[in-house]
């Protein structure tokens, strides 16, 4: 009689990877401690594509599109696979769950443009055609994509109320306040654009520097009047969520804020509204009501050795709140005008400098979690 | 010694030639099985019929220990054409019908190359126990031996401390 074989040892590698591909990222890390075989399986780069991913880093303009790795080591290809579109550059607009949304101008007519939806991990992209010229009326576009729900993506292009006759070159002639009239929504499933009039009960002004979050079919975007405006991909549900307020809040207008999805919940990072000297992290426990909870506060002195900072302007820009853990990534402009990508761990209080991004980078960072599935962006025809 | 069935205790059925098929596991061990037993796998049966079985059928995804278990099962059922309802063995199909988990009594055995058509039973999608499982058989609890040195575990836990906080 031979020794009874251990059942789990009999599972082949690919079946074990298949099982592990379904656990949350945090659980995957814990699984690394089970046995050496499991550790090696998880660390094996051949399996990386199938296993849960986490924040890899940030794309930004400097002025070409660059990538900063979140751990400060190595980097992904810098979108070199994209063809140089007849000499014209591309603008990085947004990113969502592993895909990037870019605007690419056509050489022949500098106002004509296309949207590109790119998957850097698979090096594939698709063009989303638009039939209108660029103007500041359509400068706000965001990407909606959630692979767990659907392999299709949406592009939401907000139609802004700038009444200029020309294309925004003469700001003095601009009428209107630039508030949202409606949104044109593109679905990669239908290949069609459809227009939906704004259903927000107040005028909402957006700014392309303000960030947004897409989850469960709804785009949440920060608006200028200290609210978060939300709209779903069908253009049917429109909501406004007020920024949180402390009881003894002293500031009538909080800073611009930054929202991100962390551990499944919507978080807001902003300078605190009592002294203005701290970074405050709020969390919305339930997205369907508006009850914010103050999760964490840390002084700017602890983070960057300054009593206060210009939050959201180039001095202190939040880049991400980590999707799986209590960590904030931000870019701080130091005395020599260098942009330092840094991280702050809410649990341990540790502050790390990850990378010096130099002086030429634009203050708009797109966080990136790789997505290796080829189902959504099949590539240029 | 009978030169047809290659045994000393030939039972006189040497009149019919028992064709042997060689199955080669991933670690290059050869298993000789009767064609009848091997043909319980539709894949292997097809290969035999197509004449691809000469020289042995390689099963690169199956180790010898796994193959031994499966062949034990196949040999047992080669003689019967109908599933034995009172059998104490369970056949569990895993997701995608790519794995067969063999007799629960002896611990599940996983096979990838052979599709789940052994002995005429089709494995369903997802896990379920086939009828006739011994009610007394334990549900397989996977006990995995932790072969780490304490310092290696500590290293992993330290690198990702946040994941290990309760």
Does a structural domain hold residue A269? yes
Q: Is A169 part of a structural domain of the chain?
A: no
A33 CB neighbours in chain B (<8 A) are 146, 148, 153, 156-157
Q: Which range has the worst mean pLDDT, A8-12, A55-59, A228-232, B29-33? A: A8-12
Q: B28 vs A342, which has greater pLDDT? A: A342
Tell me, yes or no, whether A256 and A346 share the same domain.
yes
| Predicted pLDDT of residue B125 | 29
Check CB contact under 8 Å for B110 and A12: yes
Confidence check: pLDDT of B98 > 50: no
Is B94 at the interface with chain A, CB within 8 A?
yes
pLDDT tens digits for range A233-271 = 999 999 999 999 888 887 777 888 999 999 999 999 999
Give tens-digit pLDDT for A347-364: 999 999 999 998 988 889
A375: confidence class by pLDDT, cuts 50, 70, 90: confident
- Whether residue A233 is contained in a domain is answered as no
Does A144 lie in the same domain as A28? no
Which strands, in side-by-side order, build the sheet including A99-105?
Answer: A90-96, A99-105, A113-119, A124-128
Whether residue A128 sits in one domain with residue A58: yes
Map out the domains of chain B with their CATH numbers: 17-80 (3.30.710.10)
Q: Are residues A105 and A152 both part of a single domain?
A: yes
Task: Tell me, yes or no, whether A22 and A75 share the same domain.
Answer: no
Determine contact, residues A59/A92, Cβ cutoff 8 Å. yes
Mean pLDDT for A72-101 is 75
Q: Positive or negative, the Cα torsion across A303, A308, A312, A313?
A: negative
Same domain for A294 and A334: yes
Among A8-17, A61-70, A166-175, name the most confident range.
A61-70
ipTM comes to 0.75
Show residues of chain A in contact with B160, CB under 8 Å: 29, 32
Does residue B122 have a pLDDT over 50? Answer: no
What mean pLDDT is predicted for residues A39-61? 90
Residues A70 and A140 in one domain: yes
Q: Does residue A170 lie within any of the structural domains?
A: no
pLDDT at A263: 93
Q: What's the pLDDT score for residue A1?
A: 46
**Does residue A297 share a domain with residue A153?**
no
Q: For chain A, how many structural domains are there in total?
A: 3
Highest mean pLDDT among A135-144, A191-200, B27-36, B51-60: A191-200
- Residue A85 pLDDT: 52
Longest dimension (CA), chain A: 91
Whether residue A285 sits in one domain with residue A195: no
Is A234 inside a domain boundary? no
Per CB distance under 8 Å, which residues of A are interface residues toward B? 4-12, 14-15, 18, 26, 29-30, 32-39, 325-327, 345, 347-348
Query: A322 in a domain, yes or no?
Result: yes
Looking at the structure, do residues A67 and A113 belong to the same domain, yes or no?
yes
Distance from CA of B35 to the nearest CA of A (A): 26
Whole-number percent of chain B with pLDDT over 90 = 0
Structure tokens at B97: 């019908």
Could you give the CA distance from residue B30 to residue A2 in angstroms, rounded to a whole number?
Answer: 19
Average pLDDT, chain A: 87
Do A63 and A91 have their domain in common? yes
Q: Which tokens in the block code for residue B162?
A: 């946040």
A267 against B27, higher pLDDT: A267
Q: What's the pLDDT band for B35 if we cut at 50, 70, 90?
A: confident
Host domain of residue A46: 13-52
Looking at the predicted structure, is the pLDDT value of residue B93 above 50?
no
| Per-residue pLDDT tens digits for A296-351 | 999 999 999 999 888 888 899 999 999 999 999 999 999 999 999 999 999 999 99
Which pLDDT value is given to residue B164? 87
Residue A41 and residue A84 in one domain: no
Cis check: omega of the bond before A63, within 30 degrees of 0:
yes
Nearest Cα residue to B56 out of B17, B67, B10: B67
Tell me what pLDDT residue A326 has: 96
- What percentage of chain A's residues is helix, strand, coil (to nearest 5)? 10, 40, 50
């Amino acid at each position: 009689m031979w020794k009874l074989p251990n059942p789990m040892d009999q599972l082949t590698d690919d079946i074990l990877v298949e099982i592990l591909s379904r656990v949350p990222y945090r659980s995957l890390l814990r699984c690394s401690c089970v046995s050496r075989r499991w550790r090696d399986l998880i660390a094996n780069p051949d399996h990386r594509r199938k296993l849960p991913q986490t924040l890899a880093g940030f794309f930004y303009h400097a002025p070409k599109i660059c990538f900063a790795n979140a751990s400060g080591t190595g980097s992904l290809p810098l979108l070199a696979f994209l063809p140089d579109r007849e000499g014209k550059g591309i603008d990085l607009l947004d990113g969502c769950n592993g895909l990037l949304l870019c605007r690419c101008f056509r050489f022949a007519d500098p106002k004509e443009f296309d949207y590109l939806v790119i998957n850097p991990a698979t090096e594939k992209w698709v063009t989303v055609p638009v039939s209108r010229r660029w103007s500041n009326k359509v400068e706000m576009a965001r990407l909606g994509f959630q692979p767990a729900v659907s392999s299709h993506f949406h592009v939401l292009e907000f139609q802004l109320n700038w009444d200029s006759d020309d294309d925004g070159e003469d700001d003095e002639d601009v009428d209107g306040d630039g508030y949202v009239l409606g949104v044109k929504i593109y679905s990669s499933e239908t290949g069609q654009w459809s227009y939906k009039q704004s259903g927000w009960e107040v005028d909402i002004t957006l700014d392309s520097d303000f960030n947004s979050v897409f989850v469960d079919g709804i785009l949440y975007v920060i608006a200028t009047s200290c609210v978060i405006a939300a709209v779903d991909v069908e253009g049917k549900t429109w909501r406004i969520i007020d920024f949180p307020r402390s009881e003894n809040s002293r500031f009538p207008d909080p800073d611009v804020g930054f929202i991100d999805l962390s551990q499944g919940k919507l978080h807001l990072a902003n300078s605190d509204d009592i002294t203005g000297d701290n970074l405050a992290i709020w969390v919305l426990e339930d997205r369907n009501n508006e009850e914010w909870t103050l999760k964490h506060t840390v002084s700017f002195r602890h983070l960057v050795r300054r009593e206060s900072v210009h939050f959201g302007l180039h001095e202190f820009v939040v880049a991400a709140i980590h999707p799986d853990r209590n960590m904030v990534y931000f870019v701080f402009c130091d005395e020599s005008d260098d942009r330092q990508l840094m991280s702050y761990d809410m649990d341990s209080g540790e502050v790390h400098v990850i990378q010096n991004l130099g002086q030429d980078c634009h203050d708009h960072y797109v966080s990136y979690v790789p997505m290796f599935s080829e189902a959504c962006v099949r590539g240029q025809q | 010694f009978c030169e047809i069935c290659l045994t000393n205790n030939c039972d006189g059925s040497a009149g019919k030639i028992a064709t042997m098929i060689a199955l080669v596991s991933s670690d290059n061990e050869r298993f000789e099985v009767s064609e009848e037993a091997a043909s319980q796998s539709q894949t292997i049966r097809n290969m035999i019929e197509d004449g691809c079985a000469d020289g042995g059928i390689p099963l690169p995804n199956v180790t010898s220990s796994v193959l031994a278990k499966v062949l034990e099962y196949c040999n047992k059922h080669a003689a019967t054409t109908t599933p034995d309802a009172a059998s104490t063995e369970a056949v569990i199909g895993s997701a995608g019908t790519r794995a067969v988990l063999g007799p629960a009594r002896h611990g599940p055995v996983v096979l990838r190359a052979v599709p789940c058509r052994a002995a005429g039973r089709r494995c369903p999608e997802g896990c379920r126990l086939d009828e006739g499982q011994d009610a007394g058989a334990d549900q397989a609890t996977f006990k995995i031996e932790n072969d780490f040195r304490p310092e290696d575990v500590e290293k992993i836990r330290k690198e990702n401390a946040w994941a290990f906080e309760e």
